[in-house]
Amino acid sequence: MTRWAAAVEYLGTAYSGWQSQSHAPSVQAALEAALSKVAAHPVAVSAAGRTDTGVHAFSQIVHFDSEARRSDYAWLLGTNSNLPEDVSLRWVQPVRADFHARHSAIARRYRYVIHNSRSRSALLEKRATWINWTLDAEAMHRAAQALVGELDFSAFRGSECQSNTPMRCVTDIGVRREGDFVLLSIRANAFLHHMVRNIAGTLIEVGQGKQPEAWVAQVLASRDRTLAGMNAPAAGLYFVAADYPDEFGLPATPDFWLP
């Protein structure tokens, strides 16, 4: 039995999220079906994190076990030939038996992409969140620094969150402008349900001048979700990568943003 790790890229528009569900299409189900064809036996995968309906991924890390004798390239080529066009493996490699895509991860990284233009883009439909009100990215960045540290993120927690604790450790968060795009990047040990989208919605209000920069810290301290901003649309959210100890030897993930 060999344990394999792989990076999965997907456009989440057509899926009900990462996790398999009996009533709707999921990325996990599509990937397991493709891997099972290559392995010639049922294959189950575990992922670094679960993404919601409409959320995309640049490098979702998964692992699976198989007795099938296949090369790295055979897994890659064979699986991709059986996947829909909006899901693709980027690399596959054998890993130690104690590697676990979820439990071995020391951090996850997300990026929220805002197309900040007076006119909407047809090409970016469902791939970025369009806001035609000019955003102050520098003010958003300054306000976001209140979220760095091991903190109680109850104010940014979705109502359906099943985590036992609202405590999360954000190690880095930044907002920057790239032309007509405003990019929110965040790294943490783990995330609560809708946490990034709720943070994005809150920072957008600061960027629009509707709230002062200090408001973000006040919302965090309140632990009250009703005081935070909107739950920003899923279309702008990307799971960028998960980080692991160097001992596992996984490929580094390059920086990523749209377009």
Catalytic residue among 52, 98, 136, 152: 52
pLDDT at 114 over 70: yes
How far separated are the first and last CA of the chain, in Å rounded?
40
pLDDT in tens, 79-105: 999 999 999 999 999 999 999 999 999
Whole-angstrom CA distances from 80 to 7, 70, 83 are: 12, 14, 5
Give the H/E segment covering residue 218: helix 215-222
pLDDT at 259: 65
The reply, when asked if residue 15 is annotated as ligand binding, is no
Task: Please give the average per-residue pLDDT across 36-47, as a whole number.
Answer: 98
Task: Please give the average per-residue pLDDT across 196-224, as a whole number.
Answer: 98
Tokens 């994190």, residue located: 49
pLDDT in tens, 179-189: 999 999 999 99
- Tokens (6 digits) for 72: 């790295």
We report the CATH number of the domain holding residue 118 as: 3.30.70.660
Domain assignment of residue 189, given as a range: 107-239
Q: Are residues 32 and 52 in the same domain?
A: yes
Task: Please give the average per-residue pLDDT across 157-181, as a whole number.
Answer: 93
180 as an active site residue: the answer is no
Q: Are residues 120 and 50 in the same domain?
A: no
Name which of 75, 83, 62 is nearest 18 in CA terms. Answer: 62
Task: Please give the average per-residue pLDDT across 233-258, as a whole number.
Answer: 92
Q: Are residues 136 and 75 in the same domain?
A: no
Q: Are residues 58 and 116 in the same domain?
A: no
pLDDT at 22 over 90: no
**pTM for the structure as a whole:** 0.95
pLDDT at 255: 82
Dihedral sign for Cα 31, 92, 236, 167, please: positive
